[in-house]
A = this chain, B = another copy of it.
Amino acid sequence: MNPAESLRLIRERRPLVHHIMNFVAMNDAANATLAIGASPIMALAEEELEEIASAADAIYINIGTPTPLLLSSALKLARLAGSYGKPLLLDPVGVGASSFRRKIAAEVLSTGAVRVLKGNAGEMLALAGKGGLSRGVESSVEEAYEPLERLSKEYGVVAVSTGKTDYVAYGSRLAAVMGGSELFRLITGSGCMLGSVMTSFLAVQESFRAAAEASAAFKLAGELAELKAGRNPGSFRVELLNALHSLHYRDLETLAERIRLLRP
């Protein structure tokens, strides 16, 4: 693993990341994509999905605030990702909260085009059929790695659960990433911003490594932001974008050490 190398590739290539996502965090996600060095485009209408997906370097589908249009567009976009061989990350936001969200996630997964499935601990438990209904889009569970191996094997994806420790699983491989900030939970959209950042890494790097490295880079940015913002969520959101933009390759050199391969 070498997050610095991947970040350098993102900043050299400025990959185009096609987003379909919830209305709450669109602005934060677009700004996070720019801050890490990639180029975001949000496009939801079926009329333009193919043109944009075929030009994109990676695709991010996030199912928060779902609507019937999002359901049909997400499915179509996942199939396009498959046809064009574009790496696809699925973020099953609030999947524990309704059967409608579980249906969208299941249909997108069933296309076989998803390369990375990333949710918070509660969402990954819900997808694995455990943990019952979540309360809203936040997770009360602090971390979860048990369901990841099964989800990874069932869907052939890199499965990532975020929380106090992030876990990244691919088949029987498992990595853990520590660190980050308690303040991630105090702002909306921090998971979506990570989704954009991870998809940017996915545009330039193979999936298991992209997921672990993006997780490490995002946790570092959170720590740097907390140093500036203290316990203030409004300031933390501002400083998180600043930190993502100013991540130095030098900071990241040491980051590889935080990624612990529990099962290489």
Q: Do residues A35 and B65 form an inter-chain contact, with CB atoms below 8 A?
A: no
Which residue of chain B has the shortest Cβ distance to A133 in the bound complex?
A: B55
Docked CA distance A99–B54 (Å): 13
A144 interface residue, CB < 8 Å from B?
Answer: no
Nearest Cβ on chain B to A173's Cβ, whole angstroms: 33
A 10-59 contacts with B by CB, 8 A:
14, 16, 22-28, 30-31, 34-35, 39-45, 47-48, 51-52, 55
Docked CA distance A198–B211 (Å): 39
Which residue of chain B has the shortest Cβ distance to A50 in the bound complex?
A: B98
A84 interface residue, CB < 8 Å from B?
Answer: no
Range for the number of chain A residues in contact with chain B? 35 or more
Q: Do residues B232 and A97 form an inter-chain contact, with CB atoms below 8 A?
A: no
On chain B, the residues within 8 Å of A186 by CB distance are 34-35, 245
Docked CA distance A28–B24 (Å): 9
A94-119: CB near B (< 8 Å → 1, else 0) gives 10011111000000000000000000
Which residue of chain B has the shortest Cβ distance to A51 in the bound complex?
A: B98
